[in-house]
């Protein structure tokens, strides 16, 4: 890009516009933009507009440490995928019973959102496409890893995780540590991430919200509206 590197984002839409401009420079085959629900969807909406690509959601739920919900010890994604960060589990002394209880709670919420956002609409086709997987930022990267793992068995051509902000350590982990394939998938799907895009990789990191002026919670209604805005003519999501 020729513009100066941003130091802060006004809001998710501003971050998405800047991210979309960067992603325009990448080669992509039949691109599809997937926003991680909910915070990634406003960012993904701007990326989809910049790339003139279709927009869909990919459903992931972070598994937060009790009392520190922003600290993820893992994540679940549609398709029955669960990723656990054993280092955080050990540090927080989380029992298997507590992990199972939190996972069941988040699975119920994931199912609710799937019904709300997808209605009777099937997920967008993934096979042989470049998938731009968008969130509003990464911290531990648990949600992104779960999303990648869930996508691998749908045979995309390439998965490009792209975010406005992430710590350099998380970017390096996504780039250098192959994600295990989803259950039933072959090992060939484990190396589909060849690049990770982040506009900012600050140190110290301080958390995703620290790099936004407006980081208010994204509502279900906003997600539904953005999906409707990008729906093909005659195929609204109402």
CATH match of 12-230 with 3.40.50.2020: yes
Concatenating the DSSP letter of every residue in 113-125 gives HHHHHHTTPPPPP
pLDDT band at 191 (very low <50, low <70, confident <90, very high): low
Q: Whole-angstrom Cα distance, residue 3 to residue 31?
A: 24
Per-residue pLDDT of 9-53, as tens digits, reads 999 999 999 999 999 999 999 999 999 989 999 999 999 999 999
Going by their DSSP bridges, the two strands 81-84 and 68-77 should be labelled as: antiparallel
54 has a pLDDT exceeding 90: yes
Task: Decide if pLDDT at 4 tops 80.
Answer: no
Domain boundaries, the chain: 12-230
Is the pLDDT higher at 142 or at 125?
125
Buried b (16+ CB within 10 A) or exposed e, 113-132: beeebbeeeeeeebeebbbb
Residue 235 above 90 pLDDT?
no
pLDDT of 238 over the 50 cut: no
Structure tokens at 223: 């997600």
Q: Span 75-90, mean pLDDT?
A: 85
Question: What tokens were used for 111?
Answer: 């199912």
């Amino acid at each position: 890009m020729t513009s100066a590197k941003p130091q802060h984002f006004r809001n998710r839409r501003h971050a998405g516009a800047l991210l979309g401009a960067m992603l325009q420079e990448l080669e992509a085959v039949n691109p599809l933009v997937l926003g991680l629900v909910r915070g990634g969807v406003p960012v993904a909406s701007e990326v989809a507009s910049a790339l003139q690509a279709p927009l869909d959601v990919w459903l992931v739920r972070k598994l937060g440490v009790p009392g520190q919900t922003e600290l993820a010890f893992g994540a679940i994604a549609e398709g029955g995928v669960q990723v656990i960060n054993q280092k955080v589990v050990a540090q927080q002394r989380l029992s298997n019973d507590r992990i199972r209880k939190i996972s069941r709670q988040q699975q119920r919420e994931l199912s609710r959102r799937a019904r709300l956002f997808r209605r009777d609409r099937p997920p967008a086709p993934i096979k042989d496409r470049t998938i731009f997987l968008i969130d509003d930022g990464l911290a531990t990267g648990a949600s992104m890893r779960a999303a990648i793992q869930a996508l691998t068995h749908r045979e995309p051509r390439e998965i490009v995780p792209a975010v406005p902000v992430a710590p350099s350590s998380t970017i390096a982990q996504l780039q250098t540590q192959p994600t295990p394939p989803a259950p039933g998938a072959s090992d060939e799907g484990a190396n589909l991430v060849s690049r990770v895009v982040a506009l900012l990789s600050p140190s110290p990191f301080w958390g995703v919200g620290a790099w936004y002026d407006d980081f208010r919670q994204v509502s279900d209604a906003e997600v539904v509206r953005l999906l409707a805005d990008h729906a093909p003519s005659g195929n609204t999501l109402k």
